[in-house]
Chain A
Amino acid sequence: MQKDIRIETERLVLRLPRIEDFERYAELHADEEAARHIGGALLRAPAWRKFLQMPGAWMVQGYAMFSVVDKASGLWIGQAGAWQPEGWPGTEVGWAFHRSAWGKGYAMEAAVAAIDWVFDELGWSEVIHSIAPENHASQALAQRLGSVNRGPGKLPPPHEDVRIDIWGQSREAWQARRAVRGKA
């Protein structure tokens, strides 16, 4: 069903999740601040259950978030990409990064590659990002990507009590921006 998908950007590799990603994934999920907007901090055992959701989605849906690896160090630094589980309010491109990778523009670099990929390979007509009103870092990234806040949305259980806004943009808006990026 899925081939070995791999995307290279200037500083990053985006690829399918592997078992060796779990140590750093568990670190991210043990970090209260880093995990606050992705469902909250998790102990190792629940983090493992969550970790398997991405490879599971790759298998049954043919897409999910990529593992993002820093080329220079070879370290797993986070995940970014397509996400639309049962009941989700739209075709999301989401991201979550290990604290050691913050403040370097990695999330932006990975999100751009992931959005290119969903429009090219999945044919989505828009992307959304579900972002908590107090998550200023992700809002800033969504803005830099050219997405706009469309107002409050609702996530399915187990996240039904989480307040989020739906940010997003159409395929056309992205392609126009991409054409400019290409010439830059």
Chain B
Amino acid sequence: MSPFDIRIETPRLILRPPVAADFDAWAELAADEDVMRTLGGVQLRPVAWRSFLFVVGGWQILGFSPFSVVEKSSGRWIGRVGPLYPEGWPAREVGWTLARSAWGKGYASEAAAAAIDFAFDHLGWDEVVHCIEDHNLASQRVATRMGARRLREARLPPPFDTPVVLWGQSREEWAARRKEVA
């Protein structure tokens, strides 16, 4: 099966690899200062296109990369959530970035949980981390809800070169937790 056929459903969301039609909403997110503050700042449309290609290229070359997240009820693209481990990254990450209009609804947690399942079950990872800047409290709350612990400090590679805190958990911790929830 091509990785581009992967499709995950949660109660309110669909996670699937990005398609060309996602780009308008992607570029809108990339132009939003509040969203992009912890992601290297806003990006003009042609620059956002490069990031978009980078994420799609990950699916093509590695067979994993962040998913596009679509709200079932509206069909809207609301963000990108999923596995990433680019060159120089401190560890295997499941990350999340949602458009501002999708904040405050528990969507990040809903999508992140599905993506963490995917990372452990489908990719066979032993550990999942989340690289979070020290002042990004919203993402720390999502990480906590996932059961992640504060693990250690690290630095993102260039072009970011920013200090982050790694939150995360092992496959066993996640499996134990999932049993509890189920």
Contact = CB atoms under 8 A, between A and B. Distances in A.
A18 B158 CA distance: 23
A15 to B, nearest CB: 13
B157 A52 contact: no
Contact of A157 (B44, B55, B62, B159): B44
Contacts of A47: 87
A156 B46 CA distance: 6
B53 A19 contact: no
A52 B45 CA distance: 18
B60 A56 contact: yes
Contacts of A18: 61
A17 interface: yes
A35 B62 CA distance: 25
A45 interface: yes
Q: Size band of the A side of the interface?
A: 20 to 34
Contacts of B159: 45-46, 49
Q: Size band of the B side of the interface?
A: 20 to 34
Nearest to B86: A48
Contacts of A54: 53, 57
Contact of B57 (A43, A44, A51): A51
Interface in B27-66: 44-50, 52-62
B19 interface: yes
A86 B45 contact: yes
A53 B50 contact: yes
Contacts of B86: 45, 48-49, 52
Given A58-B60, A60-B20, 17 more contacts: A19-B62, A46-B159, A48-B87, A52-B55, A52-B58, A53-B50, A55-B57, A56-B53, A56-B57, A57-B57, A59-B4, A59-B60, A61-B20, A85-B50, A86-B45, A156-B45, A157-B44
Interface of A: 1, 17-19, 43-61, 85-88, 156-158
Interface of B: 4, 18-20, 23, 44-50, 52-62, 86-89, 157-159
17 contacts: A44-B88, A46-B157, A48-B86, A49-B86, A49-B159, A52-B53, A52-B54, A52-B86, A56-B57, A57-B57, A60-B23, A60-B56, A86-B23, A86-B48, A156-B45, A158-B46, A158-B47
